[in-house]
Amino acid sequence: MLTEAQQMTDRIRGNECSIEELTDCIRRGGLLVRTNALEALVIHAQKKEDLIDELVAAASDPINQTRLMGTVSVAHVAIACLLRVGTSKSFEKARALIQSWPEPDRTDLIWYLRSENLPVK
């Protein structure tokens, strides 16, 4: 029997969720549901620029400072998602967040982004 979180994660990964469901999951879902919803939102944000603000909000939300593994947090994944969107606006927002990120977590954030082969200056 699958838990509710597992069922939602499966729906997200199966591309069965609307944008509204994804943004709701980012705001209210559990740790892994939020992470999967962030990653699923990338494709939509490439077409709907207003969704970039959802990714910025997720990166800035204190609840997303929660660690996934080691030093990588949900907020780190949100910034990676901004870079994956690949628009000038998303790059600008990601760079601003990276610059304002407190040390020593900024070093961990940059390490994570580089390990994902994402452009970090």
pLDDT tens by residue, 80-94: 999 999 999 999 999
Q: What is the model's pLDDT at position 2?
A: 67
How, if at all, do strands 67-69 and 72-73 pair? antiparallel
C-alpha distances (whole Å) from 101 to each of 6, 14, 30, 34, 78 are 31, 33, 23, 20, 13
Q: Quick: pLDDT tens for 1-58.
A: 668 889 999 999 999 999 999 999 999 889 999 999 999 999 999 999 999 999 999 9
Instruction: Please report whether residue 106 resides in a domain.
Output: yes
pTM: 0.93
Q: What is the model's pLDDT at position 120?
A: 86
Domain assignment of residue 99, given as a range: 4-115
Mean pLDDT taken over the chain? 94
- 112 has pLDDT over 90: yes
Instruction: Please report whether residue 50 resides in a domain.
Output: yes
Structural domains counted in the chain = 1
Distance between CA 4 and CA 87 in Å, rounded? 34
